[in-house]
Structure 1
Amino acid sequence: MSSYRELLAQREKLEQQIEEAKSLEYAHVLNEIRQKMADYGITLAELGGGRAKGLKVGRPRAGVAPKYRDPISGSTWSGRGKPPRWIAGQDRAKYLIQP
């Protein structure tokens, strides 16, 4: 039976061999993928593995209607996120936009 240290040494050698094999095969696999993408006209957006330049991925988001208005500046706030300075720490009822 192998000792603990011998097994650790074997594992280290195997990990090195795995990394070497991966490095050697990486370029070949990458070229294959690029070639197939070119042959079939596949885009990064279709793969879902990131964003292509200038292309938004995901569902469109609708804007939220403002709920509060500053009577002095006319600025509005939806009530979501960090409150702006003009309403922070104040009674929000007086800033409500009436429907």
Structure 2
Amino acid sequence: MATYSELMAQAQSLMAQAEQARKNELSNVIADIKAKMKQYGITVADLGGAASAGGRKAGKSKSVAAPKYRGPNGELWAGGPGRKPQWVRDALAAGKDLDAYKI
């Protein structure tokens, strides 16, 4: 039976081989997608992507929800899920009620 370190070495080798196979196949897949897009007249915008590189940066999103709260310095917050803005955390830590900040 193989040892743990031997199995880990085999796993790393297989992952490297899989990544190389993916890279080798990637250009063919992209060429096929581009050909089908051209054939059917599909644009990047049709797929829900940005039509140009001038759009938002990956990983950055801007809320489209209407703001429900206004902070002491004019900051806006929609009150959605996720991490609360610092001004909201500060207000809650100070024992203030968020209803006082409702718009």
1:19 maps to what in 2?
19
Q: CA–CA distance in 2 between the matches of 1:30 and 1:9? A: 32
Q: Secondary structure at the match of 2:28?
A: helix
Following superposition, the deviation at residue 83 of structure 1 comes to 2.2
Identity of aligned residues (%): 43
Q: CA–CA distance in 1 between the matches of 2:15 and 2:74? A: 53
Q: CA–CA distance in 2 between the matches of 1:12 and 1:26? A: 21
Following superposition, the deviation at residue 45 of structure 1 comes to 1.3
What is the alpha-carbon root mean square deviation over aligned residues?
2.8
The amino acid that maps onto 1:43 is T
Q: What are the within-5 Å matches in structure 2 for residues 1-99 of structure 1? A: 1-48=1-48, 50-53=49-52, 80=70, 82-83=73-74
Q: Secondary structure at the match of 1:51?
A: coil
Q: CA–CA distance in 1 between the matches of 2:31 and 2:43? A: 15
1:72 maps to what in 2?
none
Q: Which of the two has greater helix per residue? A: 2
Give per-residue Cα distances to partners, 1:40-68, cap 9 Å, x unaligned: 000111111x211389xxxxx7x99xxxx
TM-score normalized by the length of structure 2: 0.51
The amino acid that maps onto 1:44 is V
Q: CA–CA distance in 2 between the matches of 1:18 and 1:8? A: 15
Q: CA–CA distance in 2 between the matches of 1:46 and 1:80? A: 36
Give per-residue Cα distances to partners, 1:73-95, cap 9 Å, x unaligned: xxxxxx846429xxxxxxxxxxx
Q: May I ask how many residue pairs the two structures share in their alignment?
A: 63
Structure 2 residue runs of 5 or longer lacking an equivalent are 56-63, 76-103
